[in-house]
Chain A
Amino acid sequence: MKVNVVKIIAALAIFSSGLWMAGLGLAIKDQFFYEASSPVKKISLENVAEEKEDGFHIVALGDSLTRGTGDESGKGYVGYVADELQTKTKQTIRVKNLAIKGQRSAGLVSQLQQIEVQRQIKQADIILMTIGGNDLFQSGEALSNFSLERMNQAKADYLRNLHTIFKTIRHLNPDAVVFYISLYNPFNDLTDAKTTSAVVREWNFQSAEAAANYPNIIAVPTFDLFELNVNDYLYSDKFHPNKEGYKLIGERVASLITFTEGDEKND
């Protein structure tokens, strides 16, 4: 009996040696002597756009504010909006947060070229976005080292990008309401608050003007939320909101969203 076991194992071992050797040969052939023939086919939006899960889809775009930097619970205002909406509707809320820390308007323009991002926007029921904070503050340098000329240049570039962003979103998804969350002034209690506030206000005004050119793009103000007691709502980096700050933004955005009769929760 022992002998038979040995024979079986030996036979399997010989067989598998051949198999692995063939595998090694295949690997060498494939990795070293592959001749590029037909390139791999790229995805196209038409082929994948139809596959959609049920539920209420929120797509969030933009920078660290949408990402939720500074909120220790990691939710950010997007999370609070989703929580709030979940109490109002029977549908499952599905959040896709595509925001990238430090992203500027130019970065968002190129992100919107990606097919998968386009597919998710196409399927969105509402779109939340913040953009421009990094264009304006340039990681905090522009305001402390103020130059009007540079500021105007940055603003012109930003507004051009913003138009492209809005146009792309509207082209992909004509129906979803876009909530463009505008900027607050994190430097509100510093000595030159007057200058910085004026710059932010002007920036917000121009952004809202841009939004007004497109249907169903709502510019949501946050400037006033942070005007009093700004330090209570800022994270320790004195730039991003903290949990309380994000809650304020979330509540404001959620209050703007209503559901159609049939989807409402009756409790």
Chain B
Amino acid sequence: MINLVYNEMIKIVRKKRLLIIAAIIAVLVALFTYAQLKRVQSIQEQLGTTDWRAQLQQQIIDTQNRLNSSGLSEEWRKFLQIRLQQQQYYLDHDINPSAPGAPTFMRMFAENSIDLFIPLMVMVIAADLVSSEASGGTIKLLLTRPVKRWKILLSKYIAMILSVSFILLSLGALSYLISGVVFGFSGWTLPLLTGFSVHGEELDTANVHLISQWKYLLMEFGLVWFVSLVVGTLTFMLSVLMRSTAAVMGIMLAALISGAILSTMVSSWESAKYLFMVNLRLTDYVSGMAPPINGMTLGFSMTVLAVWGLAALIISFIVFTKRDVY
């Protein structure tokens, strides 16, 4: 079994996909680092202060002013209201939610890429794991070996998991190293708050507690990993079902992008919460953002994702072991 997995890893590494993904991540991180730097500078210039408390206070005032203007959509108003209460909570407890430093950048990068960018990178690896063998015809060679079919598929699946872990590791390392050059490498032990829960338009702070940034980051990467695995498994299933890698990618892309669009506009379509793609932003629950649909919680989203993932896994194995290959 180990040999089979190793064999699959060789295939993935030979295709140079991991290298390309790492390069894409590096370029994006550099871009975002620059953008973030510009943003920090413009805020300082605009407010004429480097004092984070004054900056946060000004953001709160700005949000309050925006809330008082007419013509805000219901979703946007709710989002602003929750964020306002959270910012006030941070300020009242003397904790800077965005202290400059590479770990803070890593956290923001992971939070912002969890629902689209990271799934896309995972997709690049997982999309052709099986379908390329089918379209290239090598599947016949693979299946003529005296190895059970489920073992072959399992080895591919494990290789997918390993690649996903490796992608996240390079994401973490690259975002730390590149942004650290600009923002400095320290900040692992800064305190952050977690445990917010959202009830309608109210932010419940009963369970809020302090946690060091390194722990917070580890938690967030754990959740990103979970999301990546589910997306990877779904892509894997499509890759088993279809011979064309392009079709696999097309379907996954459509699903992921529709998820990003849907989650900004589904608050009135309650049953949309059972779709996997509106549940991808798990890190929002840790940081205490308003969920896209009322009543969604971390437990709910993880369950939905797990069900989708398990179903996809079962389908892949059944189809792969039963299918006629010719």
Contact = CB atoms under 8 A, between A and B. Distances in A.
Given A53-B50, A100-B68, A40 B169 contact: no
A30 B219 contact: yes
B18 interface: yes
Interface in B9-24: 9-10, 13-14, 18
Interface in A106-149: 114-117, 119-120
A16 B223 contact: no
B58 A96 contact: yes
Contact of A101 (B69, B162, B163): B69
A259 interface: no
A9 B47 CA distance: 47
A190 interface: no
A98 B166 contact: no
B162 A13 contact: yes
Given A9-B9, A32-B299, A16 B168 contact: yes
A24 B222 contact: yes
Given A24-B222, A40-B208, A116-B91, A10 B9 contact: yes
B324 interface: no
A48 B53 contact: yes
A53 B49 contact: yes
A72 interface: no
B186 interface: no
Contacts of B211: 30
A12 B93 CA distance: 39
A98 B47 CA distance: 12
Interface string A24-51: 1111001110101100111100011001
Contact of B218 (A5, A12, A26, A94): A26
Interface residues of B, number: 57
A164 interface: no
Nearest to A101: B68
A37 B211 CA distance: 13
A92 B162 contact: no
A17 B141 CA distance: 30
B144 interface: no
Given A24-B223, A48-B53, A40 B48 contact: no
> How many of chain A's residues touch chain B, expressed as a range?
35 or more
B57 to A, nearest CB: 5
Contacts of B286: 27, 31
Contacts of B208: 40
B51 interface: yes
Contacts of B57: 96, 98, 116-117, 120
A27 B219 contact: yes
Nearest to B299: A32
Contacts of A256: none
A240 interface: no
Contacts of B298: 31-32
B51 A51 contact: yes
A40 B193 contact: yes
Contacts of A3: 10
A182 to B, nearest CB: 22
Given A17-B161, A25-B222, A100 B64 contact: yes
6 contacts: A16-B169, A17-B162, A31-B195, A32-B299, A40-B193, A48-B94
Interface of A: 2-3, 5-6, 9-10, 12-17, 19-27, 30-32, 34, 36-37, 40-43, 47-48, 51, 53, 67, 92-102, 114-117, 119-120
Q: Which 6 A-B pairs have the closest CB atoms?
A: A23-B222, A24-B222, A20-B225, A13-B162, A43-B94, A16-B169
